[in-house]
Chain A
Amino acid sequence: MTKTKWVGMDVTRIDAKDKVRGALKYMSDLSLPNMIHGAVLRSKHPHALIKKIDTKRAKELDGVVTVLTHEDVPGLNGFGIAIPDQPVLCGDKVRYMGDAVALVGAESKETAERALELIEVEYEPLPLVSDPEQAMLESSPLVHETGNIHNHVKIERGDVEAAFKEAHVVVENTYSTPRQMHAFLEPESGVATIDEDKNITIWCGGQHPYRDQLQVARALGMNPRKIRIVNTPAGGAFGGKDEITLQIYLALLVLHTGRPAKIVISREESVVAGMKRHPMKIYMKTAASADGTILANQARVVSDTGAYASLGGPVIGFAIEHSCGAYRVENVDLEGFCVYTNNCVAGAFRGFGANQVTFAVETQLDMIAEKLGMGKLDIRKKNALRKGDIAALGHKMEASVGLMRTLEAAENSRLWQIREELKAKPSAPHKKRGIGIACAFQGCGLGKGLPDYGAATIELLPNGQFAIGISCPEIGQGNTTAFVQIAADYIKCSIDDIVMLSGDTGHTLDSGTSTASRSIYTGGNALKLAAENLHDAISTVAAEILSVPGNDIDIRYESAVSKSCPEKTVSFKTIAEFVKKKGKTIKSEGHFLWPVSETELEGYVGIPHLLYSYITQIALVEVNTLTGETEVVEAVSVPDPGKAINPQGVEGQSEGGVVMGMGYALTEDTIIEEGITLTRNFSTYILPTSLDMPHKIDTIIAEELEPSGPFGAKGIGEAVCVPISPAITNAIYDAVGVWMKQIPATAERVYTALKNKEVS
């Protein structure tokens, strides 16, 4: 691999100082002169027909500038990444409590909120469906006229029934997983303006500015070029800002009033209206031979996507792809349903369907190991995917596969080595300790059949610095810092000479999403191509300045050099000044298209993947047998991100991921009963706090370089939060002998499981 000056270093995040000082302006901090404040009227019922909407009284309220309904949506009244089935403003029917019915713009936020109270909506409530399995029945009320099953995936290979017959062990269980909330610190918010030519600019946290642009343009019936979207910086996203949030409302307000507008929604509104992780019910039957080889896996997964599709279709596909874990399994029978209900919409969320099925399959694996008297780490090593293996969907692992490397590093970790010693010393006699381990892989990129592409730009600025542009937004994960490091090494300059432009359709080309563990790999590869083109342009100018032929130029650190006459050099700075004097610029572009798996699964898009990140995680827990409370005492996280562009950044992702996966395993669930959200804010939705974090999280980076990646990098943003959840529940079993098949494994559930065990 190329020697690097910046890549692989713990470079300080480029946004660190401003964030620490509080100087960085998030979307909710922005305000524009003469702006109005928007507020959205949400549904009063989880499922109802709209009979009448009367905005007269609201319009008459002093300070109200505009009240908009479905009649005021000039273009397509719908949005949705996969299919636009979610109305911008509902006209005839509402399908969940977060549905938007009207939009107010007023001189103040308070007036806008009061106006919402004055809008009279007549509803005719409909019977609702809140259980996805019931929604699949013929007799169920229809959420959409097209039927409640939005997507169905079925993949079979080999012969599972034969394998079940010949197997030494078969385990069969049903699992269920919660509706986790992204809980980004900054609730959905943004501002927008419009100019005399009706060009609209929208600043709103998001994850794919060009797709936001398309969705806004479609709803407004406008040329996308007239709409500029700025997504960076977002105060956290985790997939929850991948879909449209407020962009279209902001656009409608400025379009109809000609004035700038701002909307910031409350946490409570965000909880009711915003995206969640798909709750899934997973039936799984797994067979193994006496030596622990997995012979077959059968899974049936029902996923609750709520009232609208968003990315529910691809999520169920992704779940099926990952439902056998990062293991070789020759016989599979995998079926998934993505189902509409009148619950909160579920969409993209860090892990994208892998979290749910990994919890199931990693528990199955531990049960098998238990029955065989086999080590928990050994059974994973035995079945771990290696390069060249055929994975569950029948696709070949063609790219780098680092699972074994992560398992070996996990085995050598301090926690694993002294686990028995640590387990023997609980902090009180009524507390029991246990250790759990789990693995995962995580497809990077959008997968086969979806165009996955990204561009980068580099411009030599008059002062000799370089402006680089990538539209994948900075959502807090630190990709802009990694881009700066990658760019500096490709361009061969100092990181201090890079100016980063991010997430803005006005200043960057389309680089795709900041999702799917894809932005570093995409942006990095695009930067590589852009840097090559840049070097060509620089060489041409350098040759002119040095009076040597064009092909005689070599690019060195911060300068161009004549190959034949090395004392002839010219700095990038001088080149920049020279170009400026001539009234010219040096700008380059790089356009990168993702490689894809050779395997094609007919009828499906988004699966399988070519590249995966791999990870092994270990948890040491302590269970209070009197209360059922579980504490994660220590954790080890061993990710394979390919090359770690910024090891500290990987550690940050890893630690945050562990805590997010811990919340998923132990406490977090958005509870919706009969369509009504009961956990409306953070007093009842139980996110872990700093005091709940493990006392120690060790991240050991196990790099398996990916030849097609920038400096060998893949992606790691998602995998880090996945296997820790079953590692924790497996550790609970190790501690007190109960399998937790439903997460979150709350104190109450663990306690009940313990009681039931005593009885039986």
Chain B
Amino acid sequence: MTFGFIRPGTIREAIEFLSEHKDNSRIVAGATDVMVQMRSAKPAEEKPLWLVDITSIPKLSYVNLENGIVRIGAMTTHRDVARSAVIHDVAPFLADACLSVGSPQIRTRGTIGGNIVNASPAADSLPPLTALSARLRLISRKGSRDVALEEFFKGPYKTIIEPDEILEEVYFQAPEQSSCCAFLKLGRRESLAIARLSVAVLLDVDESGKISKASIAPGACLPMPGRITPAEEALTGKTPDEETVNLAAQEVGAEMIRVSGVRWSTEYKKPVACALTKRAIWKALGVDED
């Protein structure tokens, strides 16, 4: 495959270029998804593809907290998210999720923006970001727009991003100090493992010990990121005990089947999704069994 390569130095330069080469350009960040996809692409004599490498744009890598809003630049690597003091403070489960990505090499190159735009159902940063009700800021020559993360996805590997748009940042309201969270992932091995199942849990527990707010977002078992409202409702207003937690976990399994149907792997995945959710809820509440 023939392709052109360009490395703009500013966002402006990048979006100018993109708007001119809308139908034959591809943004490249860490390239950990792009390279894999290019390798398996069939060589063809079509129009050359422009790879627009945005790694030299200095202003896209940051994590900051201002006025209760956490902003993560799209070019922030998984390694940097996992090491960010802000993330450890306000949303440690996002740090855990980014730390579970691939291997040290992949985390050093792969970015959170790439993880989001690639839109794999198994992407590790998506369950915690979904649980956090994160929003995205997209920019193009026409201006910028904001979308809720949940509205960004159309299906597996499909999003609403326009070919001339760049994801600039992902941001979310920092959860209350009283909140707690957990991320658990089941892979086929200890590292370099794509999630077979994962779950992110974000809870707010009031003074009386009742769960006042719950967000539960599983990964790898739904076509695209989403929260499980029935599971959240099963917890909200309750004092967490064995039965409540089990009930909420059952809802995750039920939702998985409602959305994805019964497949050969369901017999395994359904009970394991329940078990994983249960453990994640308990882990968030400080009962860690691992």
Q: Which residues of A contact B (CB under 8 A)?
A: 110, 113-114, 117, 266, 268, 427-430, 626-629, 667, 682-683, 686-692, 746-748, 751-752, 755
Apart from A628-B268, A691-B190: 12 A-B pairs, beta carbons within 8 A? A266-B39, A626-B279, A627-B276, A628-B272, A683-B192, A689-B103, A689-B191, A691-B191, A747-B188, A751-B272, A752-B267, A752-B268
Q: Which residue of B lies closest to A748 (CB)?
A: B268
Q: Which residue of B lies closest to A113 (CB)?
A: B43
Once the chains bind, are B43 and A114 in contact (CB under 8 Å)?
Answer: yes
Cβ contacts B13-43/A at 8 Å (1 or 0 each): 0000000000000000000000000011011
Q: Given the complex of chains A and B, what is the CA–CA distance between A428 and B190 in angstroms?
A: 17
Please indicate the chain B residues that have their CB under 8 angstroms from the CB of A629 in the complex: 186
Cross-interface CB contact of A117 among B43, B191, B192, B271, cutoff 8 Å: B43
Q: Given the complex of chains A and B, what is the CA–CA distance between A113 and B279 in angstroms?
A: 49
Q: Given the complex of chains A and B, what is the CA–CA distance between A428 and B40 in angstroms?
A: 42
Q: Is B241 an interface residue (CB 8 A)?
A: no
Q: Shortest distance in angstroms between B34's beta carbon and chain A's nearest beta carbon?
A: 15
A interface secondary structure, majority: loop
Q: Is B189 an interface residue (CB 8 A)?
A: yes
Once the chains bind, are A428 and B289 in contact (CB under 8 Å)?
Answer: yes
- Of residues 174 through 188 on chain B, the ones whose CB sits less than 8 Å from some CB of chain A are 186, 188
Cβ contacts B246-290/A at 8 Å (1 or 0 each): 000000000000000000010110011001100100000000011
Q: Shortest distance in angstroms between A738's beta carbon and chain B's nearest beta carbon?
A: 15
Q: Is B91 an interface residue (CB 8 A)?
A: no
Q: Which residue of A lies closest to B43 (CB)?
A: A114
- Of residues 156 through 213 on chain B, the ones whose CB sits less than 8 Å from some CB of chain A are 186, 188-192, 194
Cross-interface CB contact of A751 among B189, B194, B268, B279, cutoff 8 Å: B268
Please indicate the chain A residues that have their CB under 8 angstroms from the CB of B276 in the complex: 626-627
Please indicate the chain B residues that have their CB under 8 angstroms from the CB of A429 in the complex: 289
Once the chains bind, are B194 and A683 in contact (CB under 8 Å)?
Answer: yes
Cross-interface CB contact of A689 among B42, B192, B265, B279, cutoff 8 Å: B192
Cross-interface CB contact of B275 among A117, A626, A686, A690, cutoff 8 Å: A626
Q: Shortest distance in angstroms between B277's beta carbon and chain A's nearest beta carbon?
A: 11
A-B contact pairs, 24 of them (CB 8 A): A113-B43, A114-B43, A117-B42, A117-B43, A266-B39, A268-B40, A427-B290, A626-B272, A626-B275, A626-B279, A627-B275, A628-B272, A667-B189, A683-B192, A683-B194, A686-B189, A689-B190, A691-B191, A692-B190, A692-B191, A747-B268, A748-B268, A751-B272, A752-B267
Q: Which residue of B lies closest to A627 (CB)?
A: B272
Q: Shortest distance in angstroms between A324's beta carbon and chain B's nearest beta carbon?
A: 34
Q: Shortest distance in angstroms between A57's beta carbon and chain B's nearest beta carbon?
A: 12
A430-B289, A626-B279 are known contacts. Are A689 and B43 too (CB-CB below 8 A)? no
Q: Given the complex of chains A and B, what is the CA–CA distance between A690 and B290 in angstroms?
A: 20
Q: Given the complex of chains A and B, what is the CA–CA distance between A461 and B132 in angstroms?
A: 73
Please indicate the chain B residues that have their CB under 8 angstroms from the CB of A687 in the complex: 189
Please indicate the chain B residues that have their CB under 8 angstroms from the CB of A686 in the complex: 188-189
Q: Given the complex of chains A and B, what is the CA–CA distance between A110 and B190 in angstroms?
A: 36
Q: Shortest distance in angstroms between B90's beta carbon and chain A's nearest beta carbon?
A: 28
Once the chains bind, are A692 and B43 in contact (CB under 8 Å)?
Answer: no
A626-B279, A748-B268 are known contacts. Are A689 and B289 too (CB-CB below 8 A)? no
Q: Which residue of B lies closest to A688 (CB)?
A: B189
Instruction: Identify which of A110, A748, A751, A752 gathers the most chain B CB atoms within 10 Å of its CB.
Output: A748
Number of B positions contacting A (CB below 8 A): 22
Q: Given the complex of chains A and B, what is the CA–CA distance between A628 and B268 in angstroms?
A: 9
Q: Given the complex of chains A and B, what is the CA–CA distance between A686 and B289 in angstroms?
A: 26
Q: Given the complex of chains A and B, what is the CA–CA distance between A690 and B192 in angstroms?
A: 10
Q: Given the complex of chains A and B, what is the CA–CA distance between A41 and B189 in angstroms?
A: 34
A626-B272, A627-B272, A751-B268 are known contacts. Are A428 and B189 too (CB-CB below 8 A)? no
Instruction: Identify which of B194, B268, B275, B289 gathers the most chain A CB atoms within 10 Å of its CB.
Output: B268
Q: Which residue of A lies closest to B192 (CB)?
A: A689
In order of increasing CB-CB distance, the 7 nearest A-B pairs are: A691-B190, A626-B275, A428-B289, A691-B191, A748-B268, A686-B188, A692-B190
Q: Which residue of A lies closest to B103 (CB)?
A: A689
Q: Given the complex of chains A and B, what is the CA–CA distance between A732 and B274 in angstroms?
A: 23
Cross-interface CB contact of B290 among A110, A428, A689, A752, cutoff 8 Å: A428
Q: Given the complex of chains A and B, what is the CA–CA distance between A430 and B289 in angstroms?
A: 8
Q: Which residue of B lies closest to A663 (CB)?
A: B189
Cβ contacts B95-118/A at 8 Å (1 or 0 each): 000000001000000000000000
Cross-interface CB contact of A692 among B189, B265, B271, cutoff 8 Å: B189
Once the chains bind, are A689 and B189 in contact (CB under 8 Å)?
Answer: yes
Q: Which residue of A lies closest to B197 (CB)?
A: A627
Q: Which residue of B lies closest to A689 (CB)?
A: B191
Please indicate the chain B residues that have their CB under 8 angstroms from the CB of A113 in the complex: 43
Please indicate the chain B residues that have their CB under 8 angstroms from the CB of A692 in the complex: 189-191
Q: Shortest distance in angstroms between B287's beta carbon and chain A's nearest beta carbon?
A: 11
Q: Given the complex of chains A and B, what is the CA–CA distance between A683 and B43 in angstroms?
A: 22
Please indicate the chain A residues that have their CB under 8 angstroms from the CB of B272 in the complex: 626-628, 751
Q: Given the complex of chains A and B, what is the CA–CA distance between A113 and B1 in angstroms?
A: 10
Once the chains bind, are B265 and A748 in contact (CB under 8 Å)?
Answer: yes
Q: Which residue of A lies closest to B269 (CB)?
A: A748
Q: Which residue of B lies closest to A691 (CB)?
A: B190
Q: Given the complex of chains A and B, what is the CA–CA distance between A689 and B271 in angstroms?
A: 27
Q: Shortest distance in angstroms between B190's beta carbon and chain A's nearest beta carbon?
A: 4
Instruction: Identify which of A114, A627, A682, A683 gathers the most chain B CB atoms within 10 Å of its CB.
Output: A627
Q: Given the complex of chains A and B, what is the CA–CA distance between A489 and B39 in angstroms?
A: 51
Please indicate the chain B residues that have their CB under 8 angstroms from the CB of A110 in the complex: 43
Q: Shortest distance in angstroms between A124's beta carbon and chain B's nearest beta carbon?
A: 24
Please indicate the chain B residues that have their CB under 8 angstroms from the CB of A689 in the complex: 103, 189-192
Please indicate the chain A residues that have their CB under 8 angstroms from the CB of B103 in the complex: 689
Please indicate the chain B residues that have their CB under 8 angstroms from the CB of A682 in the complex: 192
Q: Given the complex of chains A and B, what is the CA–CA distance between A110 and B279 in angstroms?
A: 50
Q: Shortest distance in angstroms between B118's beta carbon and chain A's nearest beta carbon?
A: 14
Please indicate the chain A residues that have their CB under 8 angstroms from the CB of B275 in the complex: 626-627
Q: Given the complex of chains A and B, what is the CA–CA distance between A746 and B196 in angstroms?
A: 13
Q: Shortest distance in angstroms between A19's beta carbon and chain B's nearest beta carbon?
A: 20
Q: Given the complex of chains A and B, what is the CA–CA distance between A453 and B40 in angstroms?
A: 45
Please indicate the chain B residues that have their CB under 8 angstroms from the CB of A747 in the complex: 186, 188, 268
Once the chains bind, are A667 and B188 in contact (CB under 8 Å)?
Answer: yes
Q: Given the complex of chains A and B, what is the CA–CA distance between A429 and B278 in angstroms?
A: 14
Q: Given the complex of chains A and B, what is the CA–CA distance between A688 and B187 in angstroms?
A: 12
Please indicate the chain A residues that have their CB under 8 angstroms from the CB of B188 in the complex: 667, 686, 746-747
Q: Given the complex of chains A and B, what is the CA–CA distance between A626 and B289 in angstroms?
A: 12
Q: Shortest distance in angstroms between A422's beta carbon and chain B's nearest beta carbon?
A: 18
Please indicate the chain A residues that have their CB under 8 angstroms from the CB of B271 in the complex: 751, 755
Please indicate the chain A residues that have their CB under 8 angstroms from the CB of B279 in the complex: 626
